[in-house]
């Protein structure tokens, strides 16, 4: 009797603070079908009905143009979240408060006419790094540490292509936790302390200012020093072969990466290659990972 294998195509989605990106991924080839990808705005500060409606509309739009049998739905989801049961515990993060405690797995399964066990969730940073390990900057390495730099500080460690969330953002650092130092809000706060000027455009605005502003350059230098010192302790313990960096702040890498590399010594450092596709690929991989 032949074993029934699930089809290799998965409806996959990356849920951000203000958007949903979704598409169809093939977990056998670790690739996203480019023409299947859509991006939709989501009212993350809206009611539960508005939030879920935004997600479901985006997912249904992808399903309408899909002609592959699907193994299920894989979602790259920010935490705190019960990834096995599909329940959100996001609170106090200025997003998705209205769905706190809700069974998201059941809601999405019902809306998409899928069995609940075919709807699976994975930490978003873990997904992004897993995608790079399988098909991007981390491909070809056995031990990869990855970080995502954006509105939060994500991290994951991969051994033999199996990637797990490290949750380094919750580690004690400075006067609070690492997430407060290696994310967009630190750049905004630090520049305001130096120049008494509030950045409305975040790190992208600061990067533009760095062409002429010594204070802006100083912020990136301090970031490279702080992140380097923090990661040195982690990499000494885990002994990775490479560090992969993704997230929106990586777009300003030319302002902090050379200094960060010097601070990290001989460890190779690579920027993510897949952009928005990396979490889609990493999420889809949960249908084949043990």
For the chain, what are the domain ranges? 9-127+278-287, 140-272
pLDDT for 1 equals: 45
Q: Which CATH class is domain 140-272?
A: alpha beta
- How far apart CA 207 and CA 215 sit, in angstroms, is 11
pLDDT for 289 equals: 60
Packing angle of the helix pair 104-112, 48-64 (nearest 10 deg): 40
Report the predicted TM-score, pTM, of the whole model to 2 decimal places. Answer: 0.92
Alpha helices in the chain, H assignment, sequence order: 48-64, 104-112, 124-135, 184-195, 202-209, 214-238, 257-264, 277-284
A 10 A CB-CB count for 270 gives: 17
Q: Contact, 40 vs 63, CB < 8 A?
A: no
Phi, then psi, of 228 in degrees rounded to 5: -60, -45
Listed in sequence order, the residues at least 6 apart from 232 whose beta carbon sits closer than 8 Å to its beta carbon are: 263, 264, 265
**SS3 state at 141:** coil
Cis peptide before 80 (omega within 30 of 0): yes
> What angle (nearest 5°) sits at the alpha carbon of residue 52, between those of residues 47 and 57?
130
pLDDT for 4 equals: 60
Q: pLDDT by residue (tens digit) across 87-98?
A: 999 888 778 999
Measured CA distances, 60 to 21, 108, 136, 153, 273 (Å): 12, 10, 28, 30, 28
Same fold, 9-127+278-287 and 140-272: yes
pLDDT at residue 264 above 80?
yes
Name the helix (H) or strand (E) containing 245: strand 242-246
21, β-bridge pairs: 14, 39
Please tell me the number of Cα atoms within 13 Å of 234 on its side-chain side: 25
Listed in sequence order, the residues at least 6 apart from 288 whose beta carbon sits closer than 8 Å to its beta carbon are: 27, 28
- How far apart CA 237 and CA 100 sit, in angstroms, is 35
- Rounded mean pLDDT of 160-181? 95
Higher pLDDT pick, 17 / 12: 12
Phi, then psi, of 211 in degrees rounded to 5: -65, -30
The CATH architecture of the domain made up of 9-127+278-287 is 2-Layer Sandwich (3.30)
pLDDT range class, residue 197, cuts 50, 70, 90? confident
**SS3 state at 217:** helix
Measured CA distances, 289 to 131, 161, 162, 168 (Å): 13, 9, 7, 23
Measured CA distances, 261 to 59, 153, 190 (Å): 40, 18, 22
Q: pLDDT by residue (tens digit) across 40-78?
A: 988 888 999 999 999 999 999 999 999 899 999 999 999
Nearest by Cα to 206 from 195, 196, 221, 217: 217
């Amino acid at each position: 009797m032949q074993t029934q294998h699930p089809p290799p195509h998965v409806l996959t989605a990356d849920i951000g603070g203000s958007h949903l990106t979704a598409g169809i991924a093939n977990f056998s080839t670790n690739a996203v079908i480019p023409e299947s990808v859509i991006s939709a705005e989501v009212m993350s500060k809206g009611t539960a009905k508005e939030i879920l409606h935004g997600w479901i509309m985006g997912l249904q739009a992808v399903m309408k143009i899909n002609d592959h049998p699907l193994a299920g739905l894989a979602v790259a989801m920010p935490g705190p979240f019960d990834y096995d049961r599909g329940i959100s515990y996001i609170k106090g993060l200025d997003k998705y408060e209205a769905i706190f405690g809700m069974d998201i797995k059941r809601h999405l399964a019902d809306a998409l006419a899928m069995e609940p066990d075919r709807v699976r969730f994975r930490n978003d940073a873990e997904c992004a790094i897993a995608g790079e390990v399988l098909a991007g900057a981390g491909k070809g390495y056995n031990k990869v540490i990855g970080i995502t730099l954006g509105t939060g500080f994500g991290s994951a460690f991969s051994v033999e292509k199996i990637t797990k969330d490290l949750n380094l953002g919750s580690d004690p650092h400075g006067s609070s936790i690492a997430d407060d130092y290696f994310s967009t809000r630190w750049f905004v706060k630090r520049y305001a302390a130096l120049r008494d000027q509030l950045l409305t455009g975040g790190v992208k605005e600061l990067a533009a200012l760095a062409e002429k502003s010594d204070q802006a350059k100083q912020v990136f230098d301090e970031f490279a020093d702080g992140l380097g010192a923090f990661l040195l302790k982690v990499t000494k313990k885990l002994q990775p072969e490479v560090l992969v960096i993704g997230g929106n702040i990586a777009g300003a890498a030319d302002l902090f990466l050379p200094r960060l590399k010097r601070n990290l010594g001989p460890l190779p450092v690579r920027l993510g290659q897949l952009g928005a596709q990396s979490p889609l690929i990493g999420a889809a991989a949960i249908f084949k990972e043990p």
